[in-house]
Amino acid sequence: MTAGTIVGMLAAGKTSADILAAYPYLEPDDINAALAYAAWRAEEVELPLAQ
C-alpha cells in the first residue's frame, strides 16, 4: 500500500474508518503518515540544475 493510494482513497471520499476496514493490516498512524508525506511532497520545489 503506497502513500499515494491512501491519499487517493481519502480524496475520493473514503474515510479513515473505511480504509482501515478494507485493509486491516493498516493502522491509524499509517494514514496519518501518508498524509504527512503528501503534505511534505506538496511543499517540495523543483529547481533547475545550473550548468
**Predicted confidence (pLDDT) per residue in 15-34, tens digit:** 999 999 999 999 999 999 99
Each domain of the chain, given as residue ranges in start order, spans 3-43
What's the pLDDT band for 45 if we cut at 50, 70, 90?
confident
| Alpha-carbon span 44 to 3, nearest angstrom | 16
Count of alpha carbons within 13 Å of 16, Cβ hemisphere only?
Answer: 10
Interval 37-51 mean pLDDT: 86
* pLDDT grade for 51, boundaries at 50, 70 and 90: confident
